Amino acid sequence: MRTKICLILMSIISFIFLAMSFIFAQEELAPEKTEETEKPKETVTSNAPQIQWLWGEVVSVDAQNKAISVKYFDYDNDIEKEMIIGIDDKTTYENVKSIDEIKPQDSVSIDYIVNSESKGIAKNISVEKFEGSGASGEEATPGQLTPEGSNTESVPQPTE
């Protein structure tokens, strides 16, 4: 008698689990074919170029040809590379007013696009300003990187 009850309970539990798998299935069992499913999907491509970002050190500035050569680290290939970025009339600047104020060894962050000729054109150039790099002639240290116009106070070190 006991084995009959166990057998019946096991059958009921198996039926419940089987039914649940059909109820919570993610796909339809027999999808209907329509004209939309028979047509291949067209990929949506926009003709607008993607904005890319580059951070590095200025190697040279060619103000006549409106171009900047920037040395940067390529994290995908773990090597240092150099790229020439062109500048047009639509380029905006941060912390400088024009290309004439950008000097070699400046740290820059550049948002650019790649045009149809596979050349980089800058959309925004931001020059990193270091504290103490003003008219006083003090040499800045890497720990003193701050946005222009902000004051930073030294952070007290924890004591043991």
pLDDT at position 26 is 64
Tallying the residues shown for the chain, one arrives at 160
pTM of the model: 0.52
pLDDT at position 112 is 93
Block means of pLDDT (10 residues each) for the chain, length 160 residues?
88 86 66 54 62 92 92 91 91 91 92 87 89 50 48 54
Among 68, 67, 51, CA closest to 111: 51
Q: What kind and span of H or E run contains 123?
A: strand 120-127
pLDDT at position 157 is 58
pLDDT at position 144 is 47
pLDDT at position 20 is 79
The strand pair at 67-74 and 52-62 is best described as antiparallel
Q: Which domains does the chain have, with CATH numbers?
A: 52-129 (2.40.50.320)
Is-contact 131 93, C-beta < 8 A?
no
